[in-house]
Amino acid sequence: MISYGKQDITKADIEEVIKVLRSDFLTQGPAVPFFEKKLCNYTGAKYAVAVNSCTSALHLSCLALGLGTGDILWTSPITFVASANCALYCGATVDFIDIEPDTALMSVEKLAVKLEHAEKKGKLPKIVIPVHFAGQPCDMKEIYALSQKYGFKIIEDAAHAIGSRYQNEPIGNCRYSDITVFSFHPVKIITTGEGGAVMTNNSLYAEKVELLRSHGITRDLVKMHNNPDGNWYYEQIDLGFNYRMTDIQAALGGSQIDRIEKYVSRRLEITKWYNNQFKDTCIVPLAHKKDRSSSNHIYVVSIENDKLLRKDLYEYLIKNGIGANVHYIPIHTQYFYNKFIINTNLPLSEEFYNRTITLPLNHVISDADVEFIARKVIDFIS
């Protein structure tokens, strides 16, 4: 089966992990801060806090921004459920903004209209989470301008987008957001096995996330309320979690990050090849905006032919050993969300879901496999 996503593990990666395995620290050692420093150097952000998943990164980011009971978070319905679940973890409610049908990115136009109506009702969101779907950044400058007008905070969900650029600057620098989160799952651009990171330019947010990722415990005398009994003393000053990244994971990530540009270049090459093969057919790729460059995390296409069913194409590809996928089932249609939904009028998201399929795209797939996939798709639509 040709997988839609696959990690690349090199000899250098293995050697870095072995160094940690032979060291004194498997966790809470020097590898994590070293990886965090490399993330800052790559993105231009002032602070990075590595955690055990992007889901944890989203949760801690919401807490750092003060999200709680009675607050509202808005995000896109075309994303993984974690982008919305983080609001519920904090006792807040969640609502959704419909997408641009050609990019699957949050529609700034619809966001602006919804904000205007919400202001009149006194129900503005505390946080908006734009999702950089498939690696293409949202229009962050426009979303930031709306945040200045309406007073909400911004978390960029860049789970797909390390290696992407917006207006020729790296995603993760937080120029137009309070926080950016990354994912390092094996299907992403770089991997730590499982893992994520919180990027920010705000020292208070970084300190809060760092505290909460490790049980809310500090050894900083300045932050303690009691007099320490001795050098062993630590103090829990908040209710935190065990969301730490291990040194083993960080060593892998620290090695992989040096190859981001190589990986993104290969993904762009494959994307362009696919696009050329499907030119003048009913298979339509996502549109790409001129002021942005995508990491091309996934290759999503729309089937613009009412006589062809996505389900039939999916089953045909699987039968031929091609690991097709679908990204994503709109969150508001999930059974669990039936009791939480405020807005169910999201026709563009639902139409996008009904027409789209994800074809294999990763930086280790061979040219022969890419050609085979394209040929099978064209055979099907013919």
pLDDT digits (tens, 9 = 90+) for 271-324: 999 999 999 999 999 999 999 999 999 999 999 999 999 999 999 999 999 999
pLDDT at residue 343, as a whole number: 58
Residue 243 lies inside a defined structural domain of this protein: yes
In this predicted structure, what is the pLDDT of residue 338? 86
* Contact (CB, 8 A) for 128 and 147: yes
pLDDT at residue 345 in the model? 87
pLDDT at 342: 62
- Inside any domain, residue 331: yes
Output the pLDDT for position 136: 98
Reply yes or no on whether the pLDDT at 120 is more than 80. Answer: yes
Mean pLDDT score of the chain? 97
Q: Flag whether 235 is in a domain.
A: yes
Entry pTM: 0.97
Range of the domain at 279: 261-381
Q: Where are the beta strands (DSSP E) in 25-164?
A: 47-51, 72-75, 93-96, 127-129, 153-157
Return the CATH number at 358.
3.90.1150.10
Query: Are 161 and 280 in a shared domain?
Result: no
Q: Of all residues in the chain, what percent carry a pLDDT higher than 70? A: 99
Strands (E), 92-210: 93-96, 127-129, 153-157, 165-166, 169-170, 179-183, 196-200
**Domain final position from 259, 279, 312:** 259
CA distance 97 to 99: 7
183 shares its domain with 221: yes
Confidence band, pLDDT 50/70/90 cuts, at residue 358: very high
| Interval 213-219 mean pLDDT | 97
pLDDT at 111 over 70: yes
Asked if residue 340 has pLDDT above 80, the reply is no
**Domain end point (choices 243, 259, 275):** 259
Q: Is the pLDDT of residue 186 over 90?
A: yes
Beta strands 72-75 and 93-96 are parallel
Rounded to whole angstroms, the Cα distance separating 173 from 136 reads 15
In a shared domain, residues 148 and 248:
yes
Do 193 and 283 fall into the same domain? no
**Confidence bin at 339 (pLDDT 50/70/90):** confident
Distance of alpha carbon 341 from alpha carbon 153, whole angstroms: 21
Which tokens in the block code for residue 202?
Answer: 């705000």
Q: Is residue 304 part of a domain?
A: yes
Q: Does 315 fall in a domain?
A: yes
The residue among 259, 274, 301 that closes a domain is 259
Angle (nearest 5°) at CA 77 between 73 and 82? 65
- Average of pLDDT values for 239-266? 98
Q: Is residue 2 part of a domain?
A: no
Average pLDDT over residues 342-359: 92
Q: 303 - beta bridge partners?
A: 283
Residues 239, 266 within the same domain: no
pLDDT digits (tens, 9 = 90+) for 29-72: 999 999 999 999 999 999 999 999 999 999 999 999 999 999 99
Q: Are residues 246 and 144 in the same domain?
A: yes
Strands (E), the chain: 47-51, 72-75, 93-96, 127-129, 153-157, 165-166, 169-170, 179-183, 196-200, 217-218, 235-236, 283-285, 292-293, 299-303, 356-359
Residue 1 lies inside a defined structural domain of this protein: no
Task: Indicate if 233 and 276 belong to the same structural domain.
Answer: no
Give the chain's domain count: 2
Residue 229 shares a structural domain with residue 271: no
For residue 245, what are the CA distances in angstroms to 36, 86, 252?
A: 11, 19, 11
Q: Is 266 domain-assigned?
A: yes
Q: Are residues 224 and 270 in the same domain?
A: no
Residues 300 and 355 in one domain: yes
Query: Looking at the structure, do residues 271 and 213 belong to the same domain, yes or no?
Result: no
Judged against a pLDDT cut of 90, whether residue 341 lies above it is answered with no
In this prediction, residue 344 has a pLDDT band, given cuts at 50, 70 and 90, of confident
User: Which pLDDT belongs to residue 58?
Assistant: 99
User: 117 with 184, same domain?
Assistant: yes
Q: At 83, which CATH number?
A: 3.40.640.10
Helix (H, G, I), strand (E, B) or coil at 158: coil
How far is Cα 34 from Cα 307, in angstroms, rounded to an integer? 54
* Residue 119 CA to its chain's centroid (Å): 28
Residue 179 · residue 158 · CB < 8 Å:
no
Mean pLDDT over 83-89 rounds to 98
